[in-house]
Structure 1
Amino acid sequence: MALMFFARLPMTMTGVTLTLYVVADLGHGYGAAGVVGAATTLGMALGAPLLGRTIDRYGLRPVVAACGIASTAFWVTAPHLSYPVLVACALPAGFLSVPAGSLARQILAALVPAEHRRAAFSLDTILVEASFMIGPAAGIAAITSLSATLTLSGIGVMFGSTALLTFLFNPPIRNEDELAPVGSVRPPLRSWLTGKLLATLLVAASALFCLVGTEVATLAALRTHGDVGWTGLVIAVMCAASMLGGIVHGAVKRSLPQGVLMLLLAALVLPVGLAVQPWWLLMLLLIPTNLLCAPTLAATTETVSTLAPPTVRGEAMGLQDASARLGLAVGSPVVGFVIDHSAPAWGFAASGAGGLVLASVGLLWTLRRRTGVAGSTQPSLATAVRARR
């Protein structure tokens, strides 16, 4: 878990450092910086399932070695690239990023017994929150006090170092009871990518849509009322609330299911826009919804690990990672568009409503499939009874 924490840390620095590099050093606007970030995010979303499938088939080391070399090469050379070349390289660089998030979840599922996975996944989510509290701030401090070349190259060295340590440590991706016998056939996609798993992935996307939209609306509200200086404190309180929720979720014997947690998360965002000023009141109103952030993400991982067979767990975790990144990619521009054409308060409403709609679609789909399955079994049971008579 410590190794995966440090493996994620440079990833949390990439967004802000790339944005500042494109704007300050290359002289382009924030829109141009957003194009680079979107290309990287899209590459990660496309690459995560395929890298997970490769890990399932060939093991951890070949993927970590290839991705570690590619990530190091991109970030070391990034400060020497022109903007068009940087955009062209961003997509394949994102595709070949070390899948630290999905890899961490896959390793935990192998090392931790099923009855203790909620606590393990909750702790992992808490560490993710900690990395997002440290990484972006460290990246901004580095690129503003040092040169862009040193900062971006340093991120590349961090990617390479953590990939090398992961390669040498070689943690298991399946436990002894889950090892597939030699010559066994990989289960077909349709046998495990069920409607319930797809609904779980949709709920994961809705959670990230809601969370990133809430962050965008929070920043917009603070900026509109001249309270930008309190942004760091507000975000720190949001992260602390999420970590506290993760501790409680991991400590209790029974917790709420993923769907209920997601609905509560989205519903609690809706009233935040009613009081965006003063800043401290906004901060307090953001605490309840952020208490459910880490539990929702941990419950999603627990559900995916339960539904996916061990032989395809890497691909399933990659699909979860891709769903989360797609939620991030969609949530930010959608909520930003709402704010641009109304007010920051409506950004919170858009975040909550969007999360509710996406989550409700996934949950209703699951319920409908259950009803259909139950209905399809009734004739067969009646036929069996008549045959017995």
Structure 2
Amino acid sequence: MALEPYRRLLRLPGVPVLLLVGLLARVPSTATGMALTLHVVESMKLGFGQAGLVTMASTVGMAVGSPLSGRLVDKHGLRPVLAVTTGAQAAFWACAWALPFPALVAAAALAGLLALPVFSVIRQCLAAMVPLEQRRMGFSLDSMIVELSYMTGPALAVAGVTTLGSGPTMAIIAGGMTAAGLGLIALNPPTRSAEELARPEARVPRRRWLTPGLVALLGTAAAATFVLTASELALVGTMKNAGETAWVGLAVAVWCVYSLVGGFVYGGLSRGFSPLVLIALMGLLTAPVGLAGADWRWLVLALLPAGLLCAPSLSSTVEAVSGRVPAGARGEAMGLHGTALLVGGALSAPVAGAIIDAHGPAWAFAVAGMVCVVMVAVAVPFWRGRAVSAASAVAEEPAAVSTR
């Protein structure tokens, strides 16, 4: 595939810097869950149940806070939201290591609520900076960057806690969060394009753009992370049963490479595909993976078809969300998208864990894949609902004025 389309994308003013800052800013964010888990288990000498409670509190906070921060970005701009969330993250990670367990749970929930909205902000700004015809490539490249950050952040957290201890590791995360927030504040990327700023836009009520079609799309995004989280747990479970846990890191890395390749190819296609089609295919291709058996090498090979669809599936949902909402609500919509991804992963972990314990990892692959397909089937009747774009908001402004 020709590289010229990617070169054209990276020649757009501000885009290379935004993507680079997005990569560096996401690494400390992806390290947080692992750092909290290891702190509770290794430093506080508590169980994985208590560690799960802390991470659950953080996840619930992020799920609630993501659309709220997006709405505030839409209303007040990027810098005020980044200033508050950067300060909150710096404060939490600077003192989290010293908190007793009950206070840590409460503080983790508050820190999640005030999480640095780096994922949704980068996507919102990409939608503003990249022309419509290049957005699929932009979001695909962003999904590849997310994969790289998830390959890096948790591994660095493990290395930090095991070699330096949880206190210094959390101090490093505090510094990384502060640098990420300050970097985005200094960069101050636009959240709306010049054309969108120049074009008068009616304020579109949430009930107009938060349509059944958009809710269905968010449900399929949650289904995507449901199947991905379950697949990761099933992969680890299979390798643990075979006594091959030493190779888990390599297996997950190869799986991530599949996603990177798929995202790169998908971004360069002349036309995209419906996210419902991509996510349904990912579910169908995941369901039979467990038939590969207990040999982790065959299992990783069996993950290739579904793995190639990981980044394309997620980037297609971002592209669809950005195209179905007006520019003035894009931040909140991207926040809701982030919440959907969090919810899918959070629901998947206990379900997949219970299936692995009761019936084995192969059934976790099968059940997760079919849950994904069923969710897409439920979404299909709502998918073709009318989207509310910025242009339609402008067009309806005279009618709205005349009825007052």
Using structure 1 for the length normalisation, give the TM-score.
0.92
What is the aligned partner in structure 2 of residue 173 from structure 1? 191
Is residue 59 of structure 1 aligned with residue 77 of structure 2? yes
Task: From 289, 295, 299, give the equivalent of 1:278.
Answer: 295
What is the aligned partner in structure 2 of residue 77 from structure 1? 95
Q: Post-superposition shift, 1:255?
A: 2.6
Task: From 313, 327, 334, give the equivalent of 1:310.
Answer: 327
Q: Please tell me whether the aligned partners of residues 204 and 297 of structure 1 are also in contact (alpha carbons under 8 angstroms).
A: yes
Task: From 139, 143, 146, give the equivalent of 1:125.
Answer: 143
* d(CA) in 1 for partners of 2:210, 2:64: 17
The alpha-carbon distance between structure 1 residues 4 and 103, as it changes in their structure 2 partners (threshold 3 A), is same
Task: From 113, 122, 129, give the equivalent of 1:95.
Answer: 113
Per-residue CA shift, 1:34-56, capped at 9, x if unaligned?
A: 11111111111100111000000
Q: Post-superposition shift, 1:181?
A: 6.7
What is the aligned partner in structure 2 of residue 359 from structure 1? 376
Is residue 243 of structure 1 aligned with residue 273 of structure 2? no
Task: From 65, 84, 95, give the equivalent of 1:47.
Answer: 65
Structure 2: where are the runs of 5+ without partners?
1-18, 387-404
Structure 1: where are the runs of 5+ without partners?
371-389
* d(CA) in 1 for partners of 2:179, 2:300: 37
Q: Which runs of 4+ in 1 moved over 6 A?
A: none
Per-residue CA shift, 1:175-216, capped at 9, x if unaligned?
A: 11112778x652101111112111111110000001001001
* d(CA) in 2 for partners of 1:255, 1:189: 27
Q: How many residues get paired? A: 368
* d(CA) in 2 for partners of 1:92, 1:186: 30
Is residue 223 of structure 1 aligned with residue 240 of structure 2? yes
What is the aligned partner in structure 2 of residue 191 from structure 1? 208
What is the aligned partner in structure 2 of residue 336 from structure 1? 353
Q: Please tell me whether the aligned partners of residues 180 and 311 of structure 1 are also in contact (alpha carbons under 8 angstroms).
A: no
Q: Please tell me whether the aligned partners of residues 67 and 96 of structure 1 are also in contact (alpha carbons under 8 angstroms).
A: yes
Q: What is the identity, as a one-letter code, of the residue corresponding to 1:289? A: A
SS of the equivalent of 1:277 reads coil
Per-residue CA shift, 1:246-269, capped at 9, x if unaligned?
A: 001001101321111001000001
SS of the equivalent of 1:179 reads helix
Alpha carbon RMSD of aligned pairs, Å? 1.3
* d(CA) in 1 for partners of 2:199, 2:266: 36
Q: Post-superposition shift, 1:363?
A: 1.7
Per-residue CA shift, 1:264-319, capped at 9, x if unaligned?
A: 00000111111232110001001110100000001001000100100100000001
What is the aligned partner in structure 2 of residue 24 from structure 1? 42
Task: From 289, 295, 307, give the equivalent of 2:312.
Answer: 295
Task: From 51, 55, 77, give the equivalent of 1:37.
Answer: 55
Using structure 2 for the length normalisation, give the TM-score.
0.89
Q: Post-superposition shift, 1:350?
A: 1.6
* d(CA) in 1 for partners of 2:211, 2:381: 14
Per-residue CA shift, 1:336-359, capped at 9, x if unaligned?
A: 111111111111112111211222
Q: What is the identity, as a one-letter code, of the residue corresponding to 1:318? A: G
* d(CA) in 2 for partners of 1:139, 1:153: 11
What is the aligned partner in structure 1 of residue 284 from structure 2? 267
Task: From 14, 18, 29, give the equivalent of 2:32.
Answer: 14
SS of the equivalent of 1:333 reads helix
* d(CA) in 2 for partners of 1:273, 1:177: 50
The alpha-carbon distance between structure 1 residues 180 and 29, as it changes in their structure 2 partners (threshold 3 A), is farther
Identity of aligned residues (%): 43
Per-residue CA shift, 1:120-175, capped at 9, x if unaligned?
A: 00000000001111111111111111021100111011001110111111110001
Q: Please tell me whether the aligned partners of residues 237 and 287 of structure 1 are also in contact (alpha carbons under 8 angstroms).
A: no
Q: Please tell me whether the aligned partners of residues 9 and 131 of structure 1 are also in contact (alpha carbons under 8 angstroms).
A: yes
What is the aligned partner in structure 2 of residue 256 from structure 1? 273
Is residue 4 of structure 1 aligned with residue 22 of structure 2? yes
Q: What is the identity, as a one-letter code, of the residue corresponding to 1:365? A: F
* d(CA) in 1 for partners of 2:380, 2:132: 24
Q: What is the identity, as a one-letter code, of the residue corresponding to 1:306? A: G
Q: Post-superposition shift, 1:365?
A: 3.1
* d(CA) in 2 for partners of 1:308, 1:202: 16
